[in-house]
Amino acid sequence: SKRLWAAHSLVSYSAGSRRIDDYSLEVLLTLGLAFGGYELTVYLHVSAPIMAVCAGLLIGEIGTKQGMSKQTRKYVDAFWKLIDEILNAVLFLMIGFEVFAIAFEASFLVTGVMAIVLALIARLAAVAIPVLLLKPFRQFSAGVIPIMTWGGLKGGISVALALSLPDGEWQPLILTATYIVVIFSIIIQGLTVARLANRFGRAPDLV
């Protein structure tokens, strides 16, 4: 019943949005849906991140197409792009501060290197298995597996999740390993993925 209540709140937003044509008010409605829905799911003890994803899908796929005018969509998109830029800046600022809290011990560094290998293997499995299973039914561009494996970059969300862990024995190790994986992903993978794509084929052909 709690999940139905949360779902009903999302549907109510969609229905109400169709009766309103005021871009400033609809921007506030999307903001209220994001923050109010998050608090509601916390209170109901259901998944707040899943609710946020559902709210994004609702606004992006239903709200913007059926309940918003062209002008409203323009303002809503601009508002949330600005929020995205601000939150990303704050997140990476906090990540920079957390460098001082990371324990760069030899054992932690070794664990971080092993985490890089494990992350790449997990990404390879997540990409290769579906591609191989679907090959009899559709065609894939050459190099889709290595490009998508190497292109699976990690960023601020990974570090943010590690920072959200409660203080404990394993928290410094997890934070250090996560930070090493993210740094490797951004610097090494991010700077070489274009070369890999050019070698195996053009990235747009993968879609």
Same domain, 86 and 115: no
Report the sign of the C-alpha dihedral through residues 197, 199, 200, 202, in that order. Answer: positive
| 102-117: pLDDT as tens digits | 666 788 889 889 999 9
Q: Is 151 helix (H, G, I), strand (E, B) or coil?
A: coil
Q: What is the Cα–Cα distance from 125 to 7, expressed in whole angstroms?
A: 34
Per cent of the chain over pLDDT 70 is: 78
Are residues 88 and 24 part of one domain?
yes
Number of domains present in the structure of the chain? 2
Residues 115 and 196 in one domain: yes
189 and 116 share a domain? yes
86 with 136, same domain: the answer is: no
Of 96, 123, 144, the last residue of a domain is 96
Residue 167: predicted pLDDT: 79
Instruction: Check whether residue 90 and residue 121 sit in a common domain.
Output: no
Q: Which helix (H) or strand (E) holds 31?
A: helix 23-44
Which residues, given as ranges, of the chain have pLDDT below 50? 1-2, 4-11, 13-17, 203-207
> What is the predicted pLDDT for the residue at 71?
78
C-alpha distances out from residue 8 to 50, 55, 116, 178, 199, Å: 15, 12, 42, 37, 49
Q: What is the pTM of this model?
A: 0.60
Give the range of the structural domain holding residue 126, as residue numbers without chain letter: 102-206
**Pairwise CA distance, residues 108 & 147, whole Å:** 29
pLDDT value for 64: 66
Looking at the structure, do residues 39 and 24 belong to the same domain, yes or no? Answer: yes
Give the C-alpha separation, 109 to 5, whole Å: 46
- Kindly state whether residues 26 and 112 are assigned to the same domain: no
The pLDDT score that the predictor gives to residue 161 is 77
| CA–CA separation, 177 and 110 (whole Å) | 9
Q: Which of 44, 65, 96 is the last residue of a domain?
A: 96
Q: Is 86 helix (H, G, I), strand (E, B) or coil?
A: helix
Domain C-terminal end among 51, 69, 96: 96
